[in-house]
């Protein structure tokens, strides 16, 4: 990687092709959430489940450096504001963070001046209904899971819920997350203080 | 011993409510009473006199581009369908069946020539006219009588794509109501090819606080450095702070050429453009880091050469806040709408806008411009507005303290030479002044003390 292409410092990888692939692979989930692509191998499914459980734990414990280390250098954390994600080149998303912006997001939360997270939310991420699907690439998998996030902050508790698509690939004997797409069930409604990572 | 305070609005029994709501007491030159943010009775009256008695923003024409397109929205608390009817006219129909009151349409947007009530099946054309009821032989009445047609907002007018409505037959024309705030709106639109934009998704926020807390904040240059310190530090992480947009507010913002302005009729304006060099590309240079920035900037430069700077400026956040009372805030590249839900609950919908280039002024670069522009727009709702909304909620909590009654808005007051008033009454002050707040709340008081005659109309 040339230094000026370091995804922590510049965003060359979010290019036309990247967007095109996102739209093709994510916006219509019936393209990939297909029974004939579902992985039956319990060992593989268990490894995927373990990845999501670990991610949930790191988020709940505020270990955001470790959380981000689960992600590929050229990654995306995406909360669409349109069903399936739409085309993010033409419409705003609730969140569309590349590597650099995720690092900025975490930096901001740690300044002590991000008033929406002072004091911080307490969360419990519950991940369930984990299904793994093959893709056209041999070492790349799509994981569909459902989530409930119980969040307590400012004297109130609430539940956020929806389903996630994780695009993961094998890396150094483990996994790395390339894309996490979070589909809130109420993505098109006004939501209070969405300042935690889902 | 220090002096004990006499309350201006002592808490009392229900029959004492009227004097407690004396707005000449609750709105003073330098401060307002907590009750204007917390009293359910005042809120109920706002939902008729402000949201009904004056021109209120309803929707944008780009949301209903073709005949029969509709969006559902609210005028205050009234459920409304804004529709481009089958003849092409824009109407704001009450989303309320004339039979027994059921809402007709529960979708947020769509296309329909007619609306059928899900309760007993009365059906209305999108002009609002009743077109049929099941088993009419059970009725002695004539359903051609206009009283059975849908109620609709009697006056609906657009200003360059922004659709407004009022129930007040005596209200001035929309143009007159807007007055000089149309100048910054024109400038905001005219920086785009064809002088227009289309809506492109939205960031939708909610806070548990009164709607006026958002309107108070919309021109508040005083809070920026403190409330948005985390955002300023975040931008500073990657670049020289002196180049970044929010850093207009660095050190002593009142010494910068930006200003705030009060136009009358409740409308105000924060203009940060004078802080930016007036040359193509200057706005883009102060934009923060966003996904895809390096790639798409390079694409646009390759394609457009020395015309690239103008295109890139369209992806950068326009440094203005144009606040049209009571609910339309045009800021950056967003069209933000304030939706009151209850005295202590408000939705803030930040509609994104996209550039369209029918004449080809951008020589094929419009898609790349929009791909950048979508990302620049996501930044503030994510890293700025969440903190504002958290503070609005904390104001509402603070205002629950009954005996501590006053909210101050006197910054810039009584300082000789600080505030300028031109021959048309337009007021200009340094960027952190609260003069816009004092002025708009006086207008709010005038409206709340008026007795507007609110009317609906029905198709004949
Ligand atoms: S309430 Fe609509 S048809 Fe009866
Ligand atoms: Fe703010």
Looking at this predicted complex, what is its ipTM? 0.97
- A147: in domain: yes
Q: From the CA of B144, how far away is ligand 1's center (Å)?
A: 17
Q: Which ligand 1 atom is nearest residue B122's CA?
A: 3
pLDDT in tens, A173-184: 889 999 999 999
Q: How many domains does chain A have?
A: 1
- A194: in domain: no
- A193: in domain: no
Q: From the CA of B226, how far away is ligand 2's center (Å)?
A: 9
Q: Do B289 and A100 touch (CB under 8 A)?
A: yes
**pLDDT exceeds cutoff 60 at A3:** no
- A198: in domain: no
Burial of B158 (0-12, 13-18, 19+ CB in 10 A): middle
**What pLDDT shows up at residue A2?**
57
HSE (side-chain half, CA atoms, 13 Å) at A124? 7
Length of chain B in residues, anyone? Answer: 460
- A190: in domain: no
**What pLDDT shows up at residue B5?**
83
Question: Distance between CA A25 and CA B412 in Å, rounded?
Answer: 55
- A197: in domain: no
- Where do the domains of chain B lie, and which CATH numbers do they carry? 55-167 (2.102.10.10), 179-447 (3.90.380.10)
> Residue B342's beta-bridge partner residues?
B345
Q: Is B281 helix (H, G, I), strand (E, B) or coil?
A: coil
* Chain B CB contacts of A191 below 8 Å: 204-206
For the whole prediction, is pTM greater than 0.80? yes
Residue A46, min C-alpha distance to chain B (Å):
33
**What pLDDT shows up at residue B383?**
98
**What pLDDT shows up at residue B4?**
86
Cα→Cα distances B273→B190, B205, B256, Å: 15, 27, 11
- A18: in domain: yes
Give the domain extent around A93: 3-184
**What pLDDT shows up at residue B10?**
75
Q: Which ligand 1 atom is nearest residue B101's CA?
A: 1
Question: Distance between CA A171 and CA B324 in Å, rounded?
Answer: 53
Contacts of residue B176, Cβ cutoff 8 Å, sequence gap at least 6: none
Residue B291, min C-alpha distance to chain A (Å):
6
What's the CATH number where A18 sits? 3.10.450.50
Residue B398 touches partner A, C-beta closer than 8 Å: no
Q: Say if CB A68 and CB A102 are below 8 A apart.
A: yes
Q: Which alpha helices (DSSP H) does A6-147 contain, by range?
A: 16-26, 42-60, 64-69, 99-109
Contacts of residue B414, Cβ cutoff 8 Å, sequence gap at least 6: none
A-facing residues of B in 189-208 (CB < 8 A) are 200-208
- A123: in domain: yes
Compute mean pLDDT per 10 residues along chain B, 460 residues long, and list them.
80 60 93 96 97 98 98 98 98 98 98 98 98 97 97 98 97 98 98 98 98 98 95 87 61 88 98 95 95 98 97 98 98 98 98 97 97 98 98 98 96 96 96 97 98 96
Chain pair A-B, CB pairs under 8 angstroms: 141
> Which has the closest alpha carbon to A139: A113, A109, A161, A169?
A169
**What pLDDT shows up at residue B7?**
83
**pLDDT exceeds cutoff 90 at A1:** no
Beta strands, E only, B208-319: 259-264, 267-271
Q: Do A105 and B382 touch (CB under 8 A)?
A: yes
Optimal mutation site among A15, A74, A89, interface B, most CBs of chain B within 10 A:
A89
Token pair 């926020």 is found at: B205
Burial of B68 (0-12, 13-18, 19+ CB in 10 A): middle
């Amino acid at each position: 990687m040339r230094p000026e292409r370091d995804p922590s410092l510049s965003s060359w990888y979010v290019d036309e092709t990247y967007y095109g692939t996102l739209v093709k692979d994510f916006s219509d989930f019936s393209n990939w959430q297909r029974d004939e692509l579902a992985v039956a191998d319990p060992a593989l499914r268990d490894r995927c489940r373990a990845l999501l459980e670990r991610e949930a734990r790191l988020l709940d414990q505020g270990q955001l450096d470790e959380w981000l280390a689960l992600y590929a250098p050229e990654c995306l954390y995406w909360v669409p504001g349109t069903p399936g994600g739409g085309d993010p080149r033409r419409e705003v998303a609730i969140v569309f963070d590349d590597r650099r912006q995720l690092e900025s997001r975490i930096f901001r939360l740690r300044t002590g001046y991000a008033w929406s997270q002072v004091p911080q939310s307490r969360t419990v991420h519950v991940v369930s209904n984990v299904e793994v699907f093959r893709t056209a690439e041999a070492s790349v998998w799509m994981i569909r899971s459902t989530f409930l996030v119980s969040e307590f902050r400012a004297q109130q508790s609430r539940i956020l819920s929806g389903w996630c698509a994780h695009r993961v690939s094998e890396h150094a004997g483990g996994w790395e997350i390339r894309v996490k797409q979070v589909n809130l069930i109420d993505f098109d409604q006004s939501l209070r203080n969405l300042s935690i990572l889902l | 011993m220090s002096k004990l305070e006499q309350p201006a609005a002592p808490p009392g029994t229900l029959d004492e409510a009227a004097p407690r709501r004396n707005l000449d007491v609750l709105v003073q030159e330098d401060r307002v009473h907590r009750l204007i943010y917390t009293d359910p009775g005042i809120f109920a009256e706002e939902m008729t006199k402000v949201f009904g008695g004056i021109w209120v923003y309803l929707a944008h024409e780009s949301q209903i581009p073709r005949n029969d397109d509709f969006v559902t929205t609210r005028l205050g608390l009234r459920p409304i369908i804004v529709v481009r009817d089958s003849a092409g006219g824009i109407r704001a129909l009450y989303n309320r069946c004339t039979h027994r009151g059921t809402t007709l349409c529960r979708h947020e947007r769509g296309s329909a020539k007619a609306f059928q009530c899900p309760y007993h099946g009365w059906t209305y054309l999108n002009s609002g006219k009743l077109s049929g009821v099941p088993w009419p032989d059970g009725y002695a009445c004539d359903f051609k009588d206009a009283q059975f047609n849908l109620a609709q907002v009697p006056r609906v007018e657009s200003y360059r794509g922004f659709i407004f409505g009022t129930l007040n037959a005596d209200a001035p024309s929309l143009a007159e109501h807007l007055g000089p705030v149309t100048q910054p709106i024109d400038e905001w639109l005219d920086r785009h090819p064809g002088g227009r934009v289309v809506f492109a998704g939205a960031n939708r926020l909610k806070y548990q606080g009164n709607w006026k807390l958002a309107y108070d904040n919309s021109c508040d240059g005083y809070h920026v450095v403190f409330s948005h310190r985390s955002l300023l530090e975040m931008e500073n992480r990657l670049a020289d702070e002196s180049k970044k947009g929010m850093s207009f507010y660095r050190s002593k913002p009142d010494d910068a050429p930006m200003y705030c302005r009060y136009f009358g009729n409740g409308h105000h304006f924060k203009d940060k453009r004078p802080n930016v060099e007036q040359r193509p590309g200057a706005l883009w240079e102060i934009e923060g880091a966003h996904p895809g920035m390096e790639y798409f900037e390079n694409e646009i430069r390759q394609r457009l050469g020395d015309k690239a700077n103008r295109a890139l400026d369209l992806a950068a956040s326009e440094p203005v806040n144009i606040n049209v009372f009571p609910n339309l805030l045009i800021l950056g590249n967003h069209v933000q709408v304030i939706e009151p839900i209850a005295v202590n609950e408000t939705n803030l919908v930040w509609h994104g806008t996209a550039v369209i280039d029918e004449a080809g002024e951008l020589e094929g670069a419009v898609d790349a411009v929009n791909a950048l522009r979508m990302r620049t727009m996501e930044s503030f709702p994510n890293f700025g507005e969440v903190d504002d909304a958290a503070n609005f909620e904390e104001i509402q909590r603070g205002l629950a303290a009954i005996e501590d009654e006053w909210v101050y808005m006197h910054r810039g007051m009584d300082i000789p030479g600080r505030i300028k008033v031109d021959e048309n009454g337009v007021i200009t002050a340094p960027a952190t002044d609260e003069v816009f707040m004092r002025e708009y709340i006086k207008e709010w008081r005038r409206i709340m003390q008026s007795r507007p005659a609110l009317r609906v109309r029905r198709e004949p």
